[in-house]
């Protein structure tokens, strides 16, 4: 959550990240998103078939 705004700041002001290349923060943000997606897929792999979604009552029913 911090990396995306920080990467925008570093693109605008590269001197804010002294010693780090400008693309490192964008790469870290992409890595964090990839990790979150991979973790979600990993958890779905362990979910037993037919398991009830505990948060289904909070979702809209028109989907």
Claim: this prediction has a pTM higher than 0.85:
no
User: 């979604």: which residue's tokens?
Assistant: 53
Q: Where are the domains of the chain?
A: 2-58
24-49 pLDDT tens trace: 777 888 888 899 999 989 988 888 88
* Half-sphere exposure for 63 (CA within 13 Å, toward CB): 5
pLDDT higher than threshold 80 for residue 21: no
Convert 30-62 into a string of H (helix), E (strand) and C (coil).
Answer: HHHHHHHHHHHHHHHHHCCCCCCCCCHHHCCCC
Do 24 and 17 form a contact (C-beta atoms < 8 A)? Answer: yes
Two tokens at 35? 């990790």
């Amino acid at each position: 959550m911090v990396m995306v705004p920080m990467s925008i700041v570093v693109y605008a002001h590269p001197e804010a990240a002294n010693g780090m290349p400008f693309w490192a923060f964008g790469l870290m943000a992409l890595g964090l998103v990839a990790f979150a997606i991979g973790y979600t897929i990993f958890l779905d792999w362990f979910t037993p078939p037919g398991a009830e979604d505990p948060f289904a009552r909070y979702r809209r029913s028109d989907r």
